[in-house]
Structure 1
Amino acid sequence: MKSKVLFDRPLVIPSLLLCAGIVIGRYLSHPVIFLWSVFALFFFYALYRYYYILLALFLAFGAYVSSRALSVPSDYLSLAGTNVNIRGYIVTQPLYRPQKVSFDLKPYNVNTEQKIRINMYSNSNFLPDLKYGDILDVKVKVKLPRGRTNPFGFDYSLYLKKNGVYAIGSTDINGYKRIGKRDMGFLGLAMGIKDKLNGTIHACMDNPYSDLLSSMLLGYDFRDEDVIESFSTSGVMHILAISGFNVGIIFSAVFFMAKPIKDVYIKNTIAIVVLLIYLFLVGFSPSMLRAALMAIIFLIGQFFKRQADSLNSLSAAAILLLIINPLSLFDVSFQLSFVATASLILFYPTVYKYLRSLPISENISSLMAMTISAQLGVLPFLVYYFHKISIISILANVVVVPFAAFLIPLGFLLILTSFIPAVSAFLTMPLVGIIYYVLRVTDFLSNLPYAAITVPFPGFIWIGLYYLFLFRFTDIIEFDARYTIASMILALALFIQQFYIPGPLTISFIDVGQGDSILIVTPHKHSLLIDGGRLDTRTGFDAGKAIVEPYLLMNGIGKLDAVIATHPDADHMGGLLTVVRDMPVKSAIVYQKCDDSLSSAFYDALRDKRVPIKYLHRGYKIHIDGVTLEVLNPPQPTPFENDNDNSLVFRLLYKKASILLTGDMGLDAEKDLVADSIDLKADVLKVSHHGSATAGSQEFVQAVGPLVSIISVGENNYGHPSKIVLERLKNTRIFRTDMNGAIVLKTDGERYYIRPFLRR
């Protein structure tokens, strides 16, 4: 296997090995042993090839800095769970959301250099106008951020840690006092100028035009969820964030105006100075810093009369940024910006050459080639993180990006001439017109049928094969027919294994915090979802959107054979709303029709998707792919008064395996089942109502006789799970989602394999 594109650039392979080392440092529990083994292999091979020693060192260094950064303990450990008065100053631009504002605080009165993320809530839309550098006294409840608790789940602890944040503090708008303003030096000056520029834009035009221009020009947070969704679906989300798009526009503008200058040193120096000024004006935004650094390294390379190589410059920028902060590798925007830029460098010539053979103009061919090249590289990342592919993105970029590009120079002209009313009014008209055009076009394109499709994650081997074939057919790598045949055989074997060979029955107890969500996947890949976790209307947290739907898609599930709502509590039914709205569902199962607001919204979502609803009670059985679900509760015709007691309860049978799934069933329903001599025997018991003392009676536990007990529970003020219930289950092996994260049970009908995501 050969690749002149990769191996003839001296910094490409070291940068990739540095990334690999950082990943090793995160995911392997004993990276040092692995690294010494790799280093020894490289060393013996390098007796006459010293370059390989350097490569081994990049790998080892990456693992070392990563594991060291991740092992830093939180200085807030002793304060966790307590209410604390913290005095400190704001070190980030406050982020506003409906009824919530978030910012990072550097404390004075806590002996630490670590920051704390403050979430301030309001019961109304009124929120305080906080600024970078404000000194506050805040009374907060301190909590340590949790890491990943579900496979492929979002690691909130890592997300905060890479920004130097090691704790979370919650308060309301009455729990703070503004003390004064701290001198933030150079950064404070930059943020102050940035705020003034933002004010100038808002004084010249109304929303949403001013918000969108401030987002594109200065990096302010854009809050209109509908517009964000239309940009995302259309595949033009990149123009909303300040990054490579802005650098490209600035480059084009500078070199166009500097055309008469022949001296490359002067021309490049002007470009670097302009970039640095722009970096200052946007407050040294991380995304803009990355893009500017790539460009500056490329320009500096030309100072030394060397043929500047874009891929080498990109690799140098990556190495420098990862040495400064190795955890930035796990930032989605970091990955997307570097992969997209590398894709443009690698794939653009081939794609452009093909497009020029078609009857398409040169300019359109170039724009399409840039879009396609970037999409080819980032496609697996978009599927992994967002599970969405924009089918309309090529067209959207052709008809939107050329017009959006004018917003940056026109926006700066507006700011510079804002003190001249006639000129600013003259510039406002084309700016508003272009923004109006961009908004209308993206909205129209995003609403076209199949503008974007949802794609379940296919697995890392498929992703590897995708890149292998992509590199081969764009001539990035060269290998003979044997490698091609081997790759095709592997792809065929994976396809057969994935779709035609039956696997075990898999039941996942997803960690959704204080709530329930259970995914059942039969041997031939039929999928049933029982409950969807919590929907919190106050904080806006939606377990269906944040946890359950990503879990399904990351496990390759793009449609469901059935969704089952055990009862209409928000911590069970709430998350199902998003799942039903976003995914194809064949049928829905409930115990009876309820008239509360949550149930009404659930039924409306089902009707909108034309999903048939089945009402089940004791005596019904569901048969699917050799698996039987016996409905044990509620009884008919006289259900209980309490919704919890009316929970749908299933006894799942597969060959010799038996699992009892109890929803939030209470003591009255348990007594009824025992009194009616219902067969409750099961090897595995999903403990009812999160381990509450209102369920799990001694008689019921004895009637079930479980070997394993699973409790779906999160942080709560109810005392779940109850010590009394835990005592009754002491002769069973107990798993808890608050301690073990997601719990995955697999069985072939004879034996069980239970794998908690977190081992305690």
Structure 2
Amino acid sequence: MNGNWYIAAFAVVCSALSVMFDAILFFLAFIIWLFILFKKKRLGKFPITLSLVVYLTFLLYIPPIDSLKPDTDRSDVTFSGKIIRYPVKTETMLQFDFKDDDTKDTMRVMLFNLDRQNPTIATIQSGASCQIHGDLNIPESSSNPGQFDYQAYLASNGIHYEIVINSIEDISCHGSDRLNVLYTMRENIKEYIYSKFSEETGAWILALVLGDDSLISKDITELFQRWSLSHLLAISGLHIGLVVGLLYFFTVKLQLLTIEKAQYLMMIFLPIYAFLAGGAPSVLRASSMVLLVLFLRKVKRKLMITDVISIVFIMLIIFDKYIIYHIGFQFSFLVTFAIILSKKWLLSSDSLLFQMLKLSFISQLVILPIQMIYFYNFNPLSILLNVFVVPYFTFFVIPLMFLLLLISPISFLHVFMDKLFSFVHEIFLRLLQGVDTNLFYPWWNGQFPTSYIVIYYTLLIFMLAMILRDRLTRAFAYGTLLTMLLVSLMLRPYLSPYGSVTMLDIGQGDAIVIELPFRKGVFIVDAGAAISFESMEATNRNYTRVIKPFLQFQGIYEINAIIISHEDTDHAGSVKYIVDDYRVNTIMISEYYQLEEELIHKQTQGEILRVKAGQVVEIKGKMFNILAPGVDNKGSNENSLVFSISLGGRDWLFTGDIDKETEKDIIKTFPDLSVDVLKVAHHGSNTSTDPMFISAIKPNYALISVGKNNRYGHPTRDVLETLLKEQALVLRTDQAGAIIYRYSENDGTFYQFKP
């Protein structure tokens, strides 16, 4: 297998993709690839047979993350088992992973409102044997397209349950394991850094030396994510190389140890540092590769670097079958393997600038599908930005972080270097924010289909192969096809004859997104926000967790109109956040809407359109028939904007939070009103949905946007019975998650996000 270990690694990759996407397409691609290699006499029968065995073995070994345990939630249960990871303790929260002795299931234990002064906290350590009393829950899953799926995230770490405890007194622990010594050492180093350095410098030392970026501000981490710079916030092979270089300098160059003894020291120290650095996949990859190379030298064996990375890849998955789902693992191995294969091309230029540009180009292209799958966008300018930012971190920031830690006992020196770094880094961050403000033009791709992944990487491999063979004309042709593939991905919504209406599940509130066929128009009907119980003000939680991810998932970057029914936070609270991030051409409100000064100030790029009953407003070829309010009803709910619109061969009625009196006025003023789909008013409250109103309009479908187990008791039994009596099919977000109507010109079908 010497020189062919990459075949086995590729077999594992195909197995993982087959499991992740539940698609046979990757198996077929693998078979075709093996057949090509066999026909070109680059592989014999034995390597091919072994590769197929590897594929089938890992197909059974790698677990699908959508398989849930059958148990339901249970309250007041006592568990016995061990803590298997060092507990995370903040000022207000305790969290750790716990393996139950009876079921052998791994569970995430959560305690909020933590009392840090309680002596019991000291007993909660890695490897401790514990008895825990709490409520067993199945983690919450995503209920909207594009929304982060916490249940799937925990499942990708082998965790299918949560235990929520009410008090620290519900935990009784004793003992610890040997790893706890290293965990304690890591915590002590962190405390030392807190005490020695300024808050800003300490945050970057923790991130770049110990792999803990929790103290770097959310704005900075999001900025780095937008520009595909997140890899710079994680410990990578560069850090391991720096650690190895420092060890070599202080031992061999200063003649403290022989080369052989220095190598033994590295073999002992690297696993310890990988652990202290948080055990990130990039650290495990880099340190494992160094250890394997050192071991091979000891046994006088030599392998190609592609064999080394392939063996490490397979070994890490054998050690932890869930690591394949870690985005850092995926990024690290993809980029490293691509760089290894492209080494000849990267070094073909004598110019450091061109080498960096090539490196950035390769790195960004190879992770582009994963970037799009996780974040739904790609910023082409990030390739160029990486050329300048990566050297800044490589030659200044990362070495300085290690140097600061080494010189920290010398007070005057580390204080001076601390201030120098803060000054320079502040300038860098301001420049980066300026670039973000003026040059951030991402490609919003939305979904990345499985077939596109296979085609993309096939074209990329052929393009790179042609570059390495110096056949630039063919390489350009493959690059053109690659670009056309990406452009087609962006153009898909504009070529699709299907539109959709999506009632998002934002809890107790309304948020509905209408997309016209061929992306001729995008409308949002209400965009509610949750209220913070501490400040009693609107928060951005619904926007950041549901609305914005959905818009990104759909590849939406411009909104033709937002129709706000009325002022209540559960209908209008997220509009200001949308206007901040998206171009909104029109905001439609009633004559009696009390518009906030803040929203008037923000809506400078589009118009604010006030309408009243009897008007017909045309936007992007769609007619909005305004039915209410006709007069000032002296109340926010009562003055809700009501309109009808035809979508997919059905007549829709959007009602805001109107009351029964308004419903009666509508059927009195518009006696011939035809309704196929009713957005039930006020989340199913009995203040609306009058039997007379429902009998008059006779809807076939009734959509209710309502929070799960809400304190208002919505929807009420009276409302449900009224709708049932008229034989309307009721669809509720608390049961179905997002409700999606996918339609063509004259027909459509309703789907529930939750099956």
Aligned residues: 725
| 2:610 corresponds to 1:620 | no
Cα distance change, pair 758–344 in 1 and its aligned pair in 2 (3 A)? same
Pick from 35, 53, 64 the counterpart of residue 57 of structure 1. Answer: 53
Cα distance change, pair 72–493 in 1 and its aligned pair in 2 (3 A)? closer
Cα distance change, pair 212–536 in 1 and its aligned pair in 2 (3 A)? farther
Letter of the structure 2 residue corresponding to residue 241 of structure 1: A
Structure 2 spans left out of the alignment, 5+ residues = none
| 2:326 corresponds to 1:336 | no
Q: Structure 2 CA distance, aligned partners of 1:594 and 1:86?
A: 54
| 2:517 corresponds to 1:529 | no
Range that drifts further, 212-221 or 468-477: 468-477
Deviations 1:264-287 (A, max 9, x none): 765544433231221243354555
Pick from 673, 682, 685 the counterpart of residue 689 of structure 1. Answer: 682
| 2:424 corresponds to 1:437 | yes
Range that drifts further, 554-563 or 615-624: 615-624
| 2:11 corresponds to 1:12 | no
> Contact 2:86–2:180 (CA<8 Å) still a contact in 1?
no
Q: Structure 2 CA distance, aligned partners of 1:399 and 1:245?
A: 13
| 2:96 corresponds to 1:104 | yes
Deviations 1:367-408 (A, max 9, x none): 554444322322333333233533633222233431112234
Q: Structure 2 CA distance, aligned partners of 1:307 and 1:109?
A: 44
Q: Structure 2 CA distance, aligned partners of 1:699 and 1:137?
A: 58
Q: Structure 1 CA distance, aligned partners of 2:117 and 2:518?
A: 52
| 2:475 corresponds to 1:471 | no
> Contact 2:132–2:171 (CA<8 Å) still a contact in 1?
no
Give the C-alpha shift of residue 557 in structure 1: 1.4
Give the C-alpha shift of residue 549 in structure 1: 1.5
> Contact 2:460–2:482 (CA<8 Å) still a contact in 1?
no
| 2:713 corresponds to 1:719 | yes
- Partner residue in 2 for 1:115: 107
- Partner residue in 2 for 1:742: 738
Give the C-alpha shift of residue 66 in structure 1: 3.6
Q: Structure 1 CA distance, aligned partners of 2:441 and 2:183?
A: 39
Q: Structure 2 CA distance, aligned partners of 1:18 and 1:68?
A: 14
What is the RMSD computed on CA atoms of the aligned residues? 4.3
> Contact 2:82–2:99 (CA<8 Å) still a contact in 1?
yes
- Partner residue in 2 for 1:133: 124
Q: Structure 1 CA distance, aligned partners of 2:197 and 2:189?
A: 13
Give the C-alpha shift of residue 105 in structure 1: 4.9
> Contact 1:644–1:665 (CA<8 Å) still a contact in 2?
yes
- Partner residue in 2 for 1:506: 500
- Partner residue in 2 for 1:729: 723
- Partner residue in 2 for 1:630: 625
Deviations 1:724-753 (A, max 9, x none): 333333323333333333332122232222
- Partner residue in 2 for 1:456: 444
- Partner residue in 1 for 2:205: 213
> Contact 1:502–1:523 (CA<8 Å) still a contact in 2?
yes
Pick from 653, 660, 671 the counterpart of residue 653 of structure 2. Answer: 660
Deviations 1:193-235 (A, max 9, x none): 1111112112212212222212222223224223334444565
Give the C-alpha shift of residue 528 in structure 1: 1.4
- Partner residue in 1 for 2:307: 312
Cα distance change, pair 606–339 in 1 and its aligned pair in 2 (3 A)? farther
| 2:362 corresponds to 1:373 | yes
Q: Structure 2 CA distance, aligned partners of 1:249 and 1:212?
A: 16
Q: Structure 2 CA distance, aligned partners of 1:383 and 1:282?
A: 28
Q: Structure 2 CA distance, aligned partners of 1:339 and 1:619?
A: 59
Give the C-alpha shift of residue 192 in structure 1: 0.8
Give the C-alpha shift of residue 120 in structure 1: 1.2
Cα distance change, pair 590–279 in 1 and its aligned pair in 2 (3 A)? same
Letter of the structure 1 residue corresponding to residue 570 of structure 2: D
| 2:15 corresponds to 1:21 | yes
Range that drifts further, 494-503 or 282-291: 494-503
SS in 2 for 1:446: helix
Q: Structure 1 CA distance, aligned partners of 2:68 and 2:590?
A: 49
- Partner residue in 2 for 1:551: 550
Letter of the structure 2 residue corresponding to residue 384 of structure 1: I
Cα distance change, pair 726–38 in 1 and its aligned pair in 2 (3 A)? farther
Q: Structure 1 CA distance, aligned partners of 2:639 and 2:116?
A: 38
Letter of the structure 1 residue corresponding to residue 176 of structure 2: M
User: What pairs up with 1:127-276 in 2 under 5 angstroms?
Assistant: 133=124, 142-169=136-163, 175-177=167-169, 182-220=174-212, 221-232=214-225, 236-257=229-250, 268-276=263-271
- Partner residue in 2 for 1:447: 434
Letter of the structure 2 residue corresponding to residue 575 of structure 1: S
TM-score (norm 1): 0.82
> Contact 1:368–1:398 (CA<8 Å) still a contact in 2?
no
SS in 1 for 2:501: strand
Pick from 685, 691, 694 the counterpart of residue 698 of structure 1. Answer: 691
| 2:630 corresponds to 1:639 | no
Q: Structure 2 CA distance, aligned partners of 1:438 and 1:724?
A: 62
SS in 2 for 1:392: helix
Give the C-alpha shift of residue 499 in structure 1: 6.9
TM-score (norm 2): 0.83
Q: Structure 1 CA distance, aligned partners of 2:400 and 2:33?
A: 54
Structure 1 spans left out of the alignment, 5+ residues = 1-6
Q: Structure 2 CA distance, aligned partners of 1:170 and 1:694?
A: 36
> Contact 2:134–2:170 (CA<8 Å) still a contact in 1?
no
| 2:571 corresponds to 1:572 | yes
Task: Give identity over the alignment, percent.
Answer: 22
